[in-house]
Structure 1
Amino acid sequence: MAELSGGSEAVPVALWPPGEAPPAFQYSPDSVAGADGEIDPTEVTFPGCACRSRSCAAPECPCPCRGHSSSGAGLGLAEQQEQPFSSPVFECNSLCCCGEGCQNRLVQRGLQLRLQVFRSPRKGWGVRALEPIPRGGFVCEYAGEVLGFAEARRRIQAQSPQEPNYIIAVREHLFDGRVMETFVDPTRIGNVGRFLNHSCEPNLVMVPVRVDSMVPKLALFAATDISAGEELSFDYSGRFHNGPGASREHKALEEENSLRKPCYCGSQKCASFLPWDTSLFSTPASSP
């Protein structure tokens, strides 16, 4: 069976059907600095812990004390997403004294599950699990070029309506009113996460997880028990579920806008159109 990652992942990424492949891109298991050079996700700015235990945990370890530990937190991540605010998730980093076996190193280990990128009749390419995934389990990162707002907006405005849009905007609302923005574009450089389709009733939830710096890894966890052969999806809008009220409220606007792309998730709560970020389509003069 064909393999997509070129051996760069710990677990091969299968490709189906034989003889077909998605358009060429550079595979990278981790996010990289974008062409604008504004943000470097590999920069180390967090201090390391002095723990020499194999199982770093709060309150002894300062890393999870910054928020939550990624280890053992998967089962609670979906519930956190339903709250107005949730504590950030931190892992031990490259300056920590604990070893690679530390339980607070999960997302940074990368892909550990057997996944398959497959050709979908209506949605282009998608991703499905080749093994059962328990609720709360880490699945993969959504990796790509980490961009500043200006470059993300420039790229998305340069796209034609027929081109697929891979750019994701993640906004974290802090208690003091500030908003932290992360823009990741896996169009040219990315990993298996770039093939995940949207669903209005997804089986994955995205959680920003920080390791070496404030630039987060966009980690995807199983929001429910997932069976082998099941397609994997997450909500592009950032909500855990797209409520039917929200879809009705914006339906007229969506139908009037030619840039909207139809949603083919097939769920009972389908909003009919894929979510989009209006701020990336605004002009510099009209943006806040």
Structure 2
Amino acid sequence: MAAGADLSGGLEPVAVALWPPGEAPPGFQYSPDNVAGADGDIDPTEITFPGCLCHTSSCVVHVCSCLCRGENYSSLCLRPAEEEEEYTRPVFECNAMCHCGESCQNRVVQRGLQFRLEVFKTEKKGWGLRTLEFIAKGRFVCEYAGEVLGFNEARRRIQAQTSKDSNYIIAVREHLHNGQIMETFVDPTYIGNVGRFLNHSCEPNLFMVPVRVDSMVPRLALFAATDISAGEELSYDYSGRYHNLPVTDREQKSLEEDNRLRKPCYCGSRTCASFLPWDSSLFSTPDACSGSSP
């Protein structure tokens, strides 16, 4: 790929740079959005949500049906749930069926990249991703997009890997209000976006939030956990935790048993756990911690 080329091939609103010149990561098909996986069980492009009836340029909380759970964004920044430090409230954006305008403030993740990012070769971690401009805390940075798989296909792919293979599959588990647990498996190995180059950190500067636009299939959106300077590498915690929350005793036992399969962590943070997070549920043990380990 020539110097100055766009890794996304023009599929993103902002070009994705590549460094160093003359080198490129292993080939894959770029897709800015999730696509149906090889098992075909889930179609992330299907529109199943009804749209709001707001005939305004921007929707208003308590009036718009999409904002019945509260306002999602303020000046493009994700708003935390009231009286909570973390961003735990479900996020639903206006969708293709809504009557509001494209400039509606409740349309953020669906607009795609808004910052200049660069895929670059790291010293120990393979390829990584950094920002070429300042990103304010709470701003949307990028999605972790790829093939949306069912559990069986995700497990089949994991089990087919060797110790030399990179694992890009992430498992996100959400506890719904009715007590059910919704699982989403995304694999950008063969088809994916710039999010596949994000490295793990035990002290990340991004955090992941499932954001729903057209259906219950979430978009795995990554937001800035703090102000991020130009040139800084972007990272998130593959386990899905934030602020390096401690694992439970059961999870710790499972992790210790699986150390022979885990890969070393080179994030260099003060609280580094030495190993990348590991999701043993995709092998055999249920109720293990979720995550991925590219």
Q: TM-score, normalised by structure 2?
A: 0.89
Percent of residue pairs bearing the same amino acid type: 73
Q: 1:8 aligns with which of 11, 20, 24?
A: 11
Secondary structure at 1:30's aligned position in 2? coil
1:29 aligned residue (28, 32, 43): 32
More helix by share: 1
What is residue 110 of structure 2 aligned with on the other side?
Answer: 108
Cα 1:81–1:143 change in 2 (3 A) is farther
Distance 1:116 1:64, change over 3 A: same
- 2:72–2:79: 8 Å Cα contact kept in structure 1? no
Q: Give the AA of the match of 1:12.
A: A
Normalized against structure 1, the TM-score is what? Answer: 0.91
Q: Distance in 2 between matches of 1:86 and 1:73?
A: 17
In the TM superposition, what is the alpha-carbon distance from 1:256 to its structure 2 partner?
5.9
Question: 1:126-154: per-residue Cα shift (whole Å, max 9, x none)?
Answer: 00000000000110011000011110111
In the superposition, relative to structure 1, how do residues 240 and 80 fare at CA in structure 2: closer, same or farther (>3 Å)? farther
Report what 1:221 is aligned to.
Answer: 223
Select which of 195, 199, 202 maps to 1:200: 202
Q: In the alignment, which residue of structure 1 is the partner of 2:273?
A: 271
Query: Which residue number corresponds to residue 52 of structure 2?
Result: 49
- Please say if residues 135 and 224 of structure 2, whose CA atoms lie closer than 8 Å, have aligned partners that are also in contact: yes
Structure 1: which 5+ runs fail to align?
Answer: none
Q: CA shift at 1:80, angstroms? A: 9.1
Per the TM alignment, residue 3 of structure 1 is displaced from its structure 2 partner at its CA by 1.9
Count of aligned pairs between the two proteins: 282
CA-CA distance at 1:252 after TM superposition: 9.2
Task: Write the letter of the residue equivalent to 2:137.
Answer: R
Q: In the alignment, what sits opposite 2:122?
A: 120
Distance in 2 between the 1:110 and 1:45 partners? 21
Equivalent residues of 1:77, 1:207 under 8 A apart: no
Distance 2:78 2:95 in 1: 22
Match of 2:169 in 1: 167
Equivalent residue for 2:20, pick from 17, 31, 42: 17
* 8 A Cα contact 2:72 2:78, kept in partner: no
In structure 2, list runs of 5 or more residues that go unmatched: 287-294
Pick from 240, 243, 265 the counterpart of residue 241 of structure 1: 243
Task: Give the whole-Å Cα distance in 2 for the aligned partners of 1:280 and 1:80.
Answer: 35
State the 1:38 CA deviation.
0.5
Query: CA deviation digits over 1:228-273, x for unaligned, max 9?
Result: 00000000001102246769x8389447632101110000110100
Aligned with 1:131 (options 117, 133, 154): 133
- SS of residue in 2 equivalent to 1:46: coil
- The 2-side partners of 1:109 and 1:127 are apart by 20
